[in-house]
Structure 1
């Protein structure tokens, strides 16, 4: 996992922006339940009245309320209200309500700069007293209305005119009454302060307007907050996808560059199928995980912690339900992960295995058909496919089993909250909106753990993928360029002739205990052809691979014009070489693009000359599109001989100083072979030519023939010299040519 975070750290700026956007999104998610609670509790149940402070109040009602206050409180209330129609700029939204008044009463409007919290405490007790009096005036069984309120205010107004009336006496009686009420009774009475404000609005004819104003304002804030959340979520998704895609791009680029620099030993170590899986499937796993990390893993803790803070601030006695739900979730996750985690760790290896089998079957489809082994290969593929399927089915079943249990936990949690919350609502200690908000916060907390759980399922597989990619990226190629200090100072100004020399070279393949080549010592000079012949497996191709530095010698040295190839940059060395591999390889494109594969400096004239020398001009011209004829991937739409001639032409078009032909004439008929070598000799008069061949006729006229046997040179010289001195060469020659042909060839030599 640290490797994945290391890749994310490279995009730290985008990650910080994503976290900031997630905070905005979480703020919206955590605030919306509060607004929902206000819509239900205040907007619906309290008709849009938030507290005991009226926005608009009649003079008659305000005077009665002030009678029930202390002198200081009454003075504060007087300062908080103003007459309508004045020039005061500090009026609140009450001016809008004034326009909707349906009664001719003289009213007072609340100033916008009034301290509502302080006023709510001041109005609380007088509102309760006035409401209870209105309820008593309405009569038992009847709900208090505006008429009852008017009756009560008239009674209070008359009472002030009675001899001996004292505000202090009223305050003393109120304090004694409130002191006798218990805490639960006071809690129940506090809601009646809001009801008094509702009666006042009813008398003024603005009840519906107040409620609608509150619903529109609160709903508008919810809508604005939702749009902000949507924008933040969209931006998070966009940035997370871009960051993940950039990481995947960099990983593919890094793996490809590293693989291109690998020698054959590193490629064999990983296997082609595994490298393909690492470049595609493993990188895709990391890309998906990065998106989820940025969108879910970063978001879940923010949402969960925010939900816990909101629940703690609410001070609800239902917090134990959240603790129970989280504990059950953790227990479920722990049990299921014990079964699923080991399977995730081996899934990538099974994908490797399936890719390997698929690649082998598709590559070898022709011999499979030729030997009628289709059923055997189908069974082999089915075995690899079935192993992967069983593992995936097991993990999918585990995940499928997890969801019903989690759904049960979430629904059970909601049921517990409704059950115990309903009892608290009945007792008057909780409102419906508060219970809805508590359910929402609980679900957010549970969903946070659920998101982390889903990520925990993916992380092991992504961790394995990251390790596999890191294994490729950290593998140092056995073949590498020398350090600048080891490169000869005059190398860039060196005039290359192309003389290749082996100085007592030994070579052992990695992991082998025996030499593949032993004490190889010879010089291949410019203008001459050096041929290498020998039985299968004697080391001919290995010898050429040492010149190209596909492998490095384990003893001795290989030099070009006296410079050790290990002291030359690989690009410099390979710029001198025209290499034709044993198996011709063409790339998807056209004939022209394949022949210009050696560099951008190759002209159309070079291409046509190379095709003529390689005896490919005839079949190219016969194609309707000529040199623009398409070449399929791997050259599957041309024959073996045509593919080989195009490979030879590709090397010739480069005009190298050294030609390396690794049994490159084996697919040619004798006539084409002779014509090609004759034209090649005229073209490569000043170049070094090294030919690995199986046929005597191909090497017959070489200036120097090396005979290899078990990795050693057992013969060196011309054809005539070897026919006299080398039994191994004589045996090869007599196995391919008759005595008459040998006599004839010997005379030509």
Structure 2
């Protein structure tokens, strides 16, 4: 938990002022019983009305000063906790952006959402109650004990004997509740995971009439969360009553012993009343402290989960050697092509505008292997060995589960190869800064993911400063301009979450335009035209052939028609490259390729 307190450091002054204002309020509250004792002892008993009025006015002034202290504490503690939570949330979100794919898989989206929302809320609440309620309870407890000792040292021995018992009790309760609240947050992860899966796949659920099944699945996760919450609540519920029993017993003993002192004339009636008031204040302070310790215990469990996320492996981590080798690798590749697929010379010039530092783009796999879960896991790719020259188009084909998508995921380091090397222009990709690597490698996935916003914003997502001419040129190349222009608001059309108001083919074409706009050195197309018709697919390929003459392209295609134009085609089978060649060569030499082509021709 202390590791997260660095996010409170920039707001140390508000975090300091909050308890100082609370100390002012507590001092004013502690003066009230002494003033009340003065009224009883020196006013009521002596019949001095002036003293009663004067002391009453002083009590009113003290209360007003205490009010100022309370308001000030609330203002500054709220500022500190909210700013702390904002910075922590921002830092965690940035961390999630930098996580490697295995780390993201390990945490799961449901857990990440819970940590970024519920766990941070627990930490904010902890900071707030620490600066306000915990500070008040501690000041009030210490102050009450001091004031009680000043009134009657003998009578205060009862309180001093009670304190160690309460401290031991609170320590035991904290140790019992921290793991229980950790389990509560884990079960909440499960609830969020089921909810996210259901919402993202709601059309599939409805299509297969599985609403009842999903309700049962959510009910089970919700029930596990309820059971964990009740278990933690039952243990936490013991806290207040047990402490009240201990403290009320102390009050009874104080009344019995204090009454005897009063009867003997060793303690004034007003002083006994003031002493009992301080004991009551101490009662409320310790009971309140015990209640807030449950909040702190829950926050401690959340803090452990947040620290685990912050300490997770980031794909931005690299050594100094890598940083030095990565310097200067960020320029864009010069494009020189004939422009036959462009509708106008202006489109071509718009697309080619920008940085023009000529780059190569060779790609080499050297005996690359990969297994999910590390070297000890089941191998998905084995001895992948091939080289793609700058400007060459490589097609990759194979049956489902052959490892095609896994192979291309290794190039931008979404996953790390467990064996061998992958080189771009002779440089191991592990020696290239991840941000720079991602700028060099463009990826268009089959499942096109668009963001809430306009179509224009989605196309220029990778190049925020792109001009309208560049955006339109990229859209034309991806065969997206015509349908975008036909929309009521054109490129300013607002998209729903994940582009829900577009068809699958339209989303894929916008995704292609988004990658083309960044002009990557290496372009990876993972079956990204599966939702478009054959004629549109052909026009997109023609545009790519014209545009990407000096860009290395890797195309994964389920349809032979999407890759038959490639300079070379790799046939992937059971994680191995079993054949390589042109479309015509593979029809003669590869039985698997021939079977795939024949099945599609038959269809």
TM interval, short-chain normalised: 0.7 to 0.9
Matches for 1:405-416 after TM superposition, within 5 Å:
none
Give the TM-score normalised by the residue count of structure 1. 0.71
- Flag the 1:388–1:519 CA change in 2: closer, same or farther, 3 A: closer
Out of 500, 505, 530, the residue aligned to residue 368 of structure 2 is 505
After superposing the two structures, state which structure 1 stretch, 637-646 or 394-403, moved more: 394-403
Whether the 8 Å contact between 1:505 and 1:555 is mirrored in structure 2 is yes
Give deviations 1:636-657, integer Å, cap 9, x for gaps: 2211111111111111222223
Output the CA distance in 2 between the equivalents of 1:275 and 1:690.
32
Partner of 1:38: 38
* Distance apart, 1:5 and its partner CA: 5.4
Kindly indicate whether residue 549 of structure 2 is the aligned counterpart of residue 649 of structure 1: no
Larger-gyration structure (1/2)? 1
Tell me the secondary structure at the aligned position of residue 555 of structure 2.
Answer: strand
Partner of 2:107: 270
- Flag the 1:675–1:357 CA change in 2: closer, same or farther, 3 A: same
Tell me the secondary structure at the aligned position of residue 554 of structure 2.
Answer: strand
Unaligned runs of 5+ in 2: 332-356
Matches for 1:37-436 after TM superposition, within 5 Å:
37-48=37-48, 211-212=49-50, 214-315=51-152, 318-319=155-156, 322=159, 343-397=180-234, 399=236, 403=240, 425=262, 428-436=265-273
Output the CA distance in 1 between the equivalents of 2:440 and 2:254.
80
Output the CA distance in 1 between the equivalents of 2:417 and 2:243.
62
Output the CA distance in 2 between the equivalents of 1:421 and 1:613.
92
Partner of 1:447: 284
Partner of 1:496: 359
- Flag the 1:485–1:516 CA change in 2: closer, same or farther, 3 A: closer
- Flag the 1:486–1:329 CA change in 2: closer, same or farther, 3 A: closer
Output the CA distance in 2 between the equivalents of 1:378 and 1:464.
29
Output the CA distance in 1 between the equivalents of 2:169 and 2:312.
40
Output the CA distance in 2 between the equivalents of 1:328 and 1:685.
80
Give deviations 1:356-410, integer Å, cap 9, x for gaps: 2222222222222222222222112111212222332344455556555666666
Partner of 2:297: 460
Whether the 8 Å contact between 1:241 and 1:291 is mirrored in structure 2 is yes
Give deviations 1:129-187, integer Å, cap 9, x for gaps: xxxxxxxxxxxxxxxxxxxxxxxxxxxxxxxxxxxxxxxxxxxxxxxxxxxxxxxxxxx
Output the CA distance in 1 between the equivalents of 2:281 and 2:495.
58
Whether the 8 Å contact between 1:345 and 1:460 is mirrored in structure 2 is no
Whether the 8 Å contact between 1:482 and 1:568 is mirrored in structure 2 is no
Whether the 8 Å contact between 2:178 and 2:300 is mirrored in structure 1 is no
Output the CA distance in 2 between the equivalents of 1:415 and 1:502.
82
Give deviations 1:428-463, integer Å, cap 9, x for gaps: 544443232112111122222212211222232211
Whether the 8 Å contact between 1:590 and 1:627 is mirrored in structure 2 is yes
Give deviations 1:307-360, integer Å, cap 9, x for gaps: 112111212654465467768866876887787665334211111121122222
- Flag the 1:396–1:554 CA change in 2: closer, same or farther, 3 A: closer
Whether the 8 Å contact between 2:330 and 2:439 is mirrored in structure 1 is no
Tell me the secondary structure at the aligned position of residue 516 of structure 1.
Answer: strand
Tell me the secondary structure at the aligned position of residue 706 of structure 1.
Answer: strand
Number of aligned positions between the proteins: 576
Partner of 1:202: none
- Flag the 1:685–1:461 CA change in 2: closer, same or farther, 3 A: same
Kindly indicate whether residue 580 of structure 2 is the aligned counterpart of residue 716 of structure 1: yes
After superposing the two structures, state which structure 1 stretch, 624-633 or 499-508, moved more: 499-508
Output the CA distance in 2 between the equivalents of 1:596 and 1:335.
57
Give the TM-score normalised by the residue count of structure 2. 0.87
Whether the 8 Å contact between 1:499 and 1:523 is mirrored in structure 2 is yes
- Flag the 1:554–1:329 CA change in 2: closer, same or farther, 3 A: closer
Output the CA distance in 2 between the equivalents of 1:496 and 1:540.
27
Tell me the secondary structure at the aligned position of residue 18 of structure 2.
Answer: helix
Partner of 1:17: 17
Output the CA distance in 2 between the equivalents of 1:491 and 1:391.
52
After superposing the two structures, state which structure 1 stretch, 690-699 or 27-36, moved more: 27-36
Output the CA distance in 1 between the equivalents of 2:175 and 2:472.
67
Tell me the secondary structure at the aligned position of residue 34 of structure 1.
Answer: helix
Partner of 1:605: 469
Output the CA distance in 1 between the equivalents of 2:365 and 2:171.
64
Partner of 1:733: 597
Out of 526, 530, 548, the residue aligned to residue 666 of structure 1 is 530
Tell me the secondary structure at the aligned position of residue 64 of structure 2.
Answer: helix
Output the CA distance in 2 between the equivalents of 1:265 and 1:335.
38
Unaligned runs of 5+ in 1: 49-210, 742-749
Partner of 2:312: 475
- Flag the 1:336–1:708 CA change in 2: closer, same or farther, 3 A: closer
- Flag the 1:546–1:487 CA change in 2: closer, same or farther, 3 A: farther
Whether the 8 Å contact between 1:496 and 1:561 is mirrored in structure 2 is no
Compute the RMSD of aligned alpha carbons.
2.9
Tell me the secondary structure at the aligned position of residue 597 of structure 1.
Answer: helix
Partner of 2:336: none
* Distance apart, 1:412 and its partner CA: 6.5
Whether the 8 Å contact between 1:538 and 1:708 is mirrored in structure 2 is yes
